[in-house]
Amino acid sequence: MPNASDREIRTDPGTEWISVAIGRWAIASAPTPLRTLLGSCVGVAFHDREGRLGALTHVVLPSSRGIEVDHPGKYADTAIPAVLAEIERRAGPRVRSRLTAKLAGGARMFQVATDPSGTLDIGRRNQEAIEAILSELRIPVLARDLGGNAGRRLTLDTVSGIVAIKIPGGAEYCL
Amino acid sequence: MSTDPTDLRPDSLRSIFDRGAEGASEALSRWLGRPVRLLVSAIDHSDLSVAGDLIGPADDLVAACAMGLSGRLDGMLLLVFEDRSGLAIADFLLARPIGSTDQWGELERSAAMETANIVGCAYLNALADAIPGGQRDGLVPTPPEFRHEFAGSLLEFALMGQATEQDEVLLVRTEFVAGPELPSLRWTLLFVPGPSTATTLRALRAESP
């Protein structure tokens, strides 16, 4: 599957899905689904039902700390504004009022890892940062599937806005 | 003698991990009762965005035993098994016909974790001996923990420490080679440095001829 880069938009309906890499984001028109694999990172799935448009960010860290970054998709405080700007460029400024969001990820997969820099708690900190930014932007969060100790495969259906989650060894379920 | 890992010379970087692999080879061969060799296959320096595919397709399910490190080197050691190959070794260790197990039950997980413990401790002891001023008590592994996971999720989690400081990540991959009397060992031993060790290794690698 093709990988999405920071500003890449792939809308080829012949593509089975677009794979969003660690610290990147992508936008797709229906019916092309967006997919990513998550561990402690948090995926933010945006959907505009009227515009039949979806976007997915794979957020690694909560804050860029104000430093200019090469890959805005890596940080919550740069990824969300960047993806929203691209959605608005594509669908017009009024799209913001129609957008909804769903969140997944933020697992702590192993307890064994030593944690001198506090990285094991990154999932919770990512969630807090993302929720604060979305609240400020008045984008409603319709569903959350966060925490635990298992990785997740997230697939956003850009037609319906349904987010499908697959956990190793478990059945797929929907948000 | 200095015990600072930054005193490692660039040309010794690869040989240090080779020593780790040799130490682990001996221990694993004793454990299985058959000759097995571990070979350092790569010291990867990759963009974070492609790291999820470093051990194969990111959405492949793999079994992994993780050991955390603390002391002179920070980070994580991961023994990753392609499913069928890992289960075959569990069959071998449990004296069952190869291929008779298709699920990771308690016994199979226990066999995998014991194998990881033996390989991991031998690898780390050899690393500690190879580092100038090496002190075994300066490298402290945690007991192994088992997970059946997506390969991409596993790597994303393991590399999170480095991701806090860099867009590029570094890890050391070691592969396994066994004789015909053993099932195929499609395993990978990953040494995933934490942020401070990665910085040291990255600097040494940049200076390498």
Top-confidence residue, B137 or A43: A43
Nearest CB to B156: which of A41, A111, A114? A41
**DSSP β-bridge partners for residue B176:** B38
Domain that holds residue A42: 3-174
Nearest CB to A23: which of B48, B67, B195? B48
pLDDT tens track for B18-27: 888 888 899 9
Residues A76-103 have a mean pLDDT of 94
How many residue pairs bridge chain A and chain B with CB atoms within 8 Å of each other? 122
Rounded distance, CA B172 to CA A2, Å?
A: 26
Omega before A31 cis (within 30°)?
Answer: yes
pLDDT tens track for B56-110: 888 899 999 999 887 777 888 999 988 888 888 888 888 888 888 888 999 999 9
DSSP character string of B131-182:
STT--GGGEEEPPPEEEEEEHHHHHHHHTHHHHTT-SEEEEEEEEEEE-TTS
- Contacts of the segment B133-141: beta carbons below 8 A, 24+ positions apart: B133/B1, B133/B2, B133/B3, B133/B4, B133/B7, B134/B3, B135/B3, B135/B72, B137/B71, B138/B3, B138/B71, B138/B72, B139/B69, B139/B71, B139/B72, B139/B73, B140/B69, B140/B70, B140/B71, B141/B67, B141/B68, B141/B69, B141/B77
Please determine, for residue B121, whether its predicted confidence score (pLDDT) is greater than 70: yes
ipTM of this predicted complex?
A: 0.83
Tell me the domain boundaries of chain B.
Answer: 5-207
Task: Answer whether CATH 2.40.420.20 is correct for domain B5-207.
Answer: no
Which residues in chain A are contacts of B142 at CB distance < 8 A?
A: 112-114
Q: Do A37 and B59 touch (CB under 8 A)?
A: yes
Q: Do B156 and A112 touch (CB under 8 A)?
A: no
What pLDDT is attached to residue B1?
A: 33
Chain B residue with minimum CA distance to A24: B49
Please determine, for residue B42, whether its predicted confidence score (pLDDT) is greater than 50: yes
The tally of domains found in chain A comes to: 1
pLDDT tens track for A13-35: 555 889 999 999 999 999 999 99
Residue A120 belongs to a domain with what CATH number?
3.30.1330.200
